[in-house]
Structure 1
Amino acid sequence: MKKVLLLGTLALAGTVGGHVLAGGMEAMTAPASTPLTATAALRDEAGQVLGTATFRQMDMGVQVTVEARGLTPGQHGMHVHEYGRCAPGVDPATNTVVPFGAAGGHFDPGMSKNHDDPQAPNKYGHGGDAPMLTVGADGVGRATFMSQKFSLTGMNGVLNRSLVIHANPDDYKTDPAGKSGTRVQCGVIRRDNFSVRDYSLPDHLAYPEGVAYDAQRGILYTGSATNGTVYAINATTGAVSKFSEGGALGRRVALGMKVDGQGRVWIAGGQQGTVSILNPNGMILRVLETPMSPMPYLNDLTPAPDGNVYVTDSRRPVIFRVDRNLNLTAWLDLGKTPIRYGPGVNLNGIVATPDGRFLLAMQTNTGELWRIDLRTRAVKRVMGGLMNGDGLLLDGYTLYVARNKDQMISKVVLALDYGGGTLMMEEPLTGLRFPATLTKIGGDLVVTQPQLDRLQGGMAPEVPFRLTRFKKF
């Protein structure tokens, strides 16, 4: 099966292309991609713009061009820092407030916790380590270089992070910043010609994993992967309130979420092995428990046109079903299907097709998308190549996949029988932070950014936590 991989936001052509998807459906051919680009306006401590850095995604990395004025002649350390905040803040190395300290430490996607040469692999050195900027006698520094340590998309993505120029040269070895001294200029790396809307959460412990939308009330729901709190967000105003307090009966965590036709909120309870059902006022209607097990992990769920709700378990090879009378049973033993469970997160995101015939389920650790027949329970592999695929959103024959560690959303065009698919596009928006699940509001999509990678790695999250709304692409 042919794949067409595009970076950047593109509109698909309206003509039928020359490649055919499994299942017999011809896919539309996408036009040539527009390179992904970004710009950072470099400012001094007083806020004066003294230079520009441009970033252009290339096949083998990112081309960076920097021009900065008002600097001392000589060499200056230059790094990508963790956060997109060019404001005063605490420098962890000295525990004092410094210019541009709010940008945090060096971007370190490999979690190396080590300053190193700009050519060092990210598992050995900071991903944000960059070549030095050489400044002439006129106080102007210019540099053009290619870097494969960071990118504008994927796990090493630097969108909405900061480029910082320091006062001194970089020795490329001393932690945490190569003795490069004071931060003298800073610019936030912003994607060119692209905008989104963010919904920010007030709770710095939120880690919002699941998301669902109640179109009748205009309310988004999202739930905490660490304490089970469910938040209600007015989709128009962005106002946030607590819908249901964390720690409620049977819900210490809240993962996949859906709203059914009665306005009830369904929540997958992760390692508790529960499904919680809340009424539109946030009251607990029912907590359903799966059989006792040392390793439950209910991850996502979906209402289907047959009136049942289907639930994935990422550790136990089974799909559960909740019927109209709220009876929970083990519906499908996956050990008797082509799906093979292994280490890590297995079946995760799940959606039902609108014709009521199939379920589509994402296997995170293998990158495989599966089709499950609701009548015969037969399982068919749709496609692979979607590693770290998490939540799913089905819009007609277009499937959007949140790719958590890859920090992007993939667009897949499916065959008419949902038995095949072609990857059309991979979209980082303005810099995603471990995107997990998706929901739809009219012509827009909303994605959560729970940063579970940072939670698992023992690193502080980027706050405030946010959900991001964007146009379908």
Structure 2
Amino acid sequence: MRTRLHSALLGAALLSAAATAGGASTPALAPASTPLSATAALRDPAGQVLGTATFQQVGPGVRVTVNVSGLQPGQHGMHVHENGRCTPGVDAATNTTVPFGGAGGHFDPGQSRNHDHPQADNTVGHGGDLPMLTVGADGRGQATFSTDKLSLTGQAGILNRSLVIHAQPDDYRSDPAGRSGARERCGVITRDAFSVRDYPLPGPQDFPEGVAVDAARGVAYTGSAATGTIYAVNLASGAVTRFAEGGGQGRASALGLKVDAQGRVWAAGGASGTVSVLRPDGFPVAILTTPKSPNAYVNDLTPAPDGHVYVTDSSRPVIFRVTPDLKLSAWLDLTGTPIRYAPGINLNGIVATPDGRALLTVQLNTGDLWRIDLRTRAVTRVMTGLTRGDGLLLDGRTLYVVRNAEQVVTKVTLNADSTRGTVVAEEPLMGLRFPTTLAAIGRDLIVVQGQLNKLQGGIPETPFRLTRFPKF
């Protein structure tokens, strides 16, 4: 059974901050570099490098410089394609296997489904529709231009996508590629001087959502939004095993995950309205059920210093609480508080402050970050502007916010009592694919590339993966 997601947000039923962990056996990665720039080595179908393209972030857009050799004189269509694969694959336009078909179709961040002019807005034409490359009599082509249709970060981010140069001119009209002919050069757009480690996952249709770390065992857990299966990932070797199969015990999806002090894994069950508690060997301890409702969407949860576990529901305006003896009840009715539920995904990621005074939770459909006092239950807005805020991780006074459709991790600095927050940095990594949440691993972070925007349609980039990178 696939997870029921709110159609208004295209599969954005997202969540969870994962437990902070230290002492993982693998060392921290090298810190990120600035400024943001990228390079693509342009290869011919035989694999020979015959050019380069560079990309520099300038304001909201990018400055692109292309140099290539060995092409026929004249104009050549040039586009950014969806996938970071310069491999043979099926061209949807001809339904045949072609060189560089693995790059997929044109990058279309505005979901226009239409080939158009490079000046067209992304809601009208593909974001990947670029100016043509003019090649001289010596077979060399050079182009330099700036475009606001693309970026190295955010929804229009092109990191880990492909630049493709075609054999013919682009007519800027005909779908899907302007009749620009064969794909003659291809290069993956790779961020300069930045290192990450990916943990590939085995399921071709799993759509991972949550992540939690058990530092003592050196394991990260991630759960499938589509099946409810929970995987265990060895953080040293990268080996993946099935920790708990989905589909049983009422767990058709596994969203927010946490590991408690006893090593038990907690999983939010989404539309099933359940919270699952599993032993370190994967055996179920309890399946806790919220009141039956056609609108249930149990999304994330967090242990708090008071010994309770607090749970968000993205459809019903209530915070649930689980007591140490595993009794679940409605703890706070949000009706009448400043939090206003609206269509779509509402409260999502949730964390408890280390001093035990408050909960912090983000509302995905408004971009608001809220503070809930654990003693008085008073609700106050900390900040706004965290559009598409999903999973949260609190590290001292630093709050990391995963913003799924924005394809970034945002760093927020909080004041002493967590009543005010300021955005200080945003990180796209090597090109995030609808990230959902993150966890800490010593000096590193690990983020889930969930691709839930493709859960109800579209072809995900596989393998799905967790990505590890330095704290920033």
Could you tell me the TM-score, scaled by structure 1's length?
0.92
Structure 1 runs of 4+ with >4 Å offset: none
263-272 or 113-122: bigger deviation: 113-122
* Match status 1:438 vs 2:425: no
> Which amino acid in the other structure matches residue 369 of structure 1?
L
Could you tell me how far apart the structure 2 residues matched to 1:277 and 1:415 are? 34
SS at match of 1:437: strand
Letter in 1 for 2:462: V
In 2, are the aligned partners of 1:155 and 1:406 still within 8 Å (CA)?
yes
What residue is the counterpart of 1:64 in the other structure? Answer: 64
Number of the residue aligned with 2:21: none
Mapped partners of 2:445, 2:397: distance in 1: 16
CA distance in 1, matches of 2:230, 2:376: 36
Alignment of 1:394-405 (within 5 A): 394-405=394-405
Q: Displacement of 1:206 after TM fit?
A: 1.1
Q: Alignment partner of 1:453: what SS?
A: helix
Match of 2:52 in 1: 52
Structure 1 match to 2:383: 383
Q: Is the 1:35–1:58 contact (alpha carbons within 8 Å) kept by the matching residues of 2?
A: no
Counterpart in the other structure of 1:15 = none
Partner of 1:169, secondary structure, is coil
Which stretch shifts more, 110-119 or 297-306?
A: 110-119
Amino acid at match of 1:469: R
Give a deviation string over 1:404-444, Cα, whole Å, max 9, x none: 00000000000000111110011101100111111111111
Matches within 5 A, 1:12-411: 34-411=34-411
Q: Output one character per residue of 1:240-288: Cα deviation in whole Å (capped at 9) or x when no partner.
A: 0111111011100010000000010000000111001111011111111
**1:468 equivalent in alignment to 2:467:** yes
Amino acid in structure 2 at the alignment position of 1:353: T
Q: Deviations over 1:66-104 (max 9, x none)?
A: 010001000000000111111111112222111011111
Unpaired segments of 5 or more residues in structure 1?
Answer: 1-32
- C-alpha contact 2:268 2:301 (8 A) present in aligned 1: yes
The 10-residue stretch of structure 1 (85-94 or 393-402) with the greater mean CA deviation from structure 2: 85-94
Distance 2:202 2:132 in 1: 38
Q: How many residues align?
A: 440
Query: Matches of 2:286 and 2:97 in 1, distance apart?
Result: 50
Tell me, what secondary structure is at the counterpart of 2:455? helix
Task: Measure the CA separation in 2 of the matches of 1:107 and 1:251.
Answer: 35
- Distance in 2, matches of 1:359 and 1:56, equals 39
- CA–CA separation in structure 2 for the residues paired with 1:283 and 1:177: 52
Are 1:447 and 1:467, in contact at CA under 8 Å, matched by a contact in 2? yes
Aligned mates of 1:68, 1:90 — CA distance in 2: 25
Q: Using the alignment, how far apart are the partners of 1:318 and 1:304 within structure 2?
A: 17
Give, in angstroms, the shift of residue 40 of structure 1: 0.4
Offset at residue 228 of structure 1 (A): 0.5
Normalising to structure 2: TM-score of the pair?
0.92
After superposition, the C-alpha distances for 1:131-174 in whole angstroms (9 at most, x for unaligned) are 10000111110101111111100001000000000000000111
Give the letter for the 1:223 counterpart: G
Given that 2:60 and 2:151 are in contact with CA atoms closer than 8 Å, whether structure 1 keeps it comes out as no
Cα distance in 2 for residues equivalent to 1:147 and 1:212: 39
Aligned-pair Cα RMSD in Å: 0.9
Q: Structure 2 CA distance, aligned partners of 1:413 and 1:176?
A: 44
CA distance in 2, matches of 1:348, 1:53: 39
What does the per-residue CA deviation read over 1:424-470, in whole Å, with 9 as the maximum and x for residues that have no partner?
A: 011101100111111111111100011111224x1111111011000
Q: Is residue 2:426 matched to residue 1:426?
A: yes
Contact 1:203 1:464 in 2 (8 A): yes
Q: Secondary structure at the match of 2:453?
A: helix
User: Is this contact kept in 2: 1:305–1:354, CA < 8 A?
Assistant: yes
2:155, 2:407 within 8 Å by CA — same for their partners in 1?
A: yes
- Three-state SS of the structure 2 residue aligned to 1:157 is coil
**Partner amino acid, structure 1, of 2:312:** T
Aligned to 2:11: none
One-letter code of the match for 1:240?
V
What per-residue deviation string (whole Å, max 9, x for no partner) do you get for residues 175-221 of structure 1?
A: 11111010000000000110100000111111000000001111110
C-alpha displacement of 1:60? 3.8
Q: Distance in 1 between matches of 2:299 and 2:120?
A: 37
**Separation in structure 2 between the aligned mates of residue 119 and residue 256 of structure 1, nearest angstrom:** 41
Q: Percent identity?
A: 70
Cα shift at 1:125: 1.2
Q: Per-residue CA shift, 1:19-45, capped at 9, x if unaligned?
A: xxxxxxxxxxxxxx9431100010111
What is the alpha-carbon distance in structure 1 between the residues aligned to residue 171 and residue 381 of structure 2?
Answer: 51
Partner of 1:20: none
- Equivalent residue letter for 1:169: P
Q: 1:307–1:324: 8 Å Cα contact kept in structure 2?
A: yes
Give 1:292 shift. 1.1
Residue equivalent to 1:30? none
Q: Is the 8 A contact 1:168 1:181 kept in 2?
A: yes
Equivalent pair of 1:159/1:430 in contact (CA under 8 Å): yes
Letter of the 2:346 counterpart: N
CA contact (8 A) 1:167 1:181 kept: yes
Question: Secondary structure, in 3 states, of the residue corresponding to 1:102?
Answer: helix
Output the CA distance in 2 between the equivalents of 1:111 and 1:465. 22
Q: Secondary structure at the match of 1:335?
A: coil
SS of 1:90's partner is: strand
SS of residue matched to 1:331 = strand
SS in 2 for 1:185: strand
Q: Aligned partners of 1:44, 1:370: CA distance in 2, in Å?
A: 52
CA distance in 2, matches of 1:93, 1:230: 38
